[in-house]
Amino acid sequence: MAQIFFAGDVMGAAGRRALRLALARLRQDEPVDAVVVNGENAAGGAGITATIAQEFCAWGVDVITTGNHIWDRREALTFIEAEPRLLRPYNAPPGTPGAGWVVVETRAGWRLGVLNLMGRLFMHPMYDCPFRAADAALAQKPAECDVVVVDMHAEATSEKMAMGWYLAGRVSGVMGSHTHVPTADERVLPGGTAYQSDAGMCGCYDSVIGVDKDASIRRFITALPGHAETVDGVASCCGLLMTVDTDNGRCSAVRRVRYDFPQALP
């Protein structure tokens, strides 16, 4: 049996701090074998830099997934080619830099496949069908890949749930990301597939999905454009912990994880 931790969208400095501290705490509490993190908002709430990606890997993150904000930092267009552990959505148009699927060998010796997909409902840009893309990716899965987990980066809960049922029994886990709010619907679907509609956010929850709440409220009231700064304060890390049999890829248990750090620690 192996323990896999999937951390929700890392939002700015508070999110990075929460992730670093949570991984250290989690490893004290659980024998974590692999870590997958959505890092598309890690750089000030918009994109990810090479330095941050390297920090994540130094903290023991095995794969970094993303979504619609992957290209917010232009440097990602080039460094993603040199860092196979950083993914962009697999269903992006042909010719898009980087890859949406990777297989890595874990510290325990088994091989973890991670597939990054992006939904189409209420999302921009509009990518190819994630369901057909999932079929195409799994058709190319190498035989030596023991476990496959999927980050379904999407706005609509219905689209995420549909993907969970579509891949039930075919992958070890389907985790939703993007909305920054953890859902309480974690379960193991028939066939041994972990599922959660959204793993939540690593960041400051004294905010509106990680950004200044007053600026966000003002935008809703006035309907005027404006920039809302990412909040750096009390840090929380949300995610899903899965127990998976690496012999058959079936998940047997899931548990929501949330660590709160009441002070803005260094």
- Residue 255 maps to a domain: yes
Quick one: DSSP state of residue 125?
S
Please indicate whether residue 166 or residue 263 has the higher confidence score (pLDDT).
166
- Residue 172 maps to a domain: yes
pLDDT tens for residues 4-24?
A: 999 999 999 999 999 999 999
Task: Count how many domains the chain has.
Answer: 1
Q: Look at residue 264 in the predicted model and tell me its pLDDT.
A: 53
Q: How far apart are CA 26 and CA 40, in angstroms?
A: 22
- Residue 196 maps to a domain: yes
Could you tell me the residue range of the domain that residue 187 belongs to? Answer: 2-204+235-261
Quick one: DSSP state of residue 200?
-
- Inter-residue contact 92 to 100 (CB < 8 Å): yes
| pLDDT band of 262, cuts 50, 70, 90 | confident
- Residue 180 maps to a domain: yes
- Residue 25 maps to a domain: yes
Question: Catalytic one among 69, 153, 178, 180?
Answer: 69
pLDDT tens for residues 207-217?
A: 999 999 999 99
- Residue 45 maps to a domain: yes
- Residue 222 maps to a domain: no
- Where is 38: in which H helix or E strand? strand 34-38
**Has residue 186 got a pLDDT over 70?**
yes
Query: What CATH number did the domain enclosing 58 receive?
Result: 3.60.21.10
Q: How far apart are CA 22 and CA 27, in angstroms?
A: 8
- Residue 230 maps to a domain: no
Q: Where are the alpha helices (DSSP H) in the chain?
A: 12-29, 50-58, 76-82, 130-139, 157-166, 213-222
Catalytic residue at 124? no
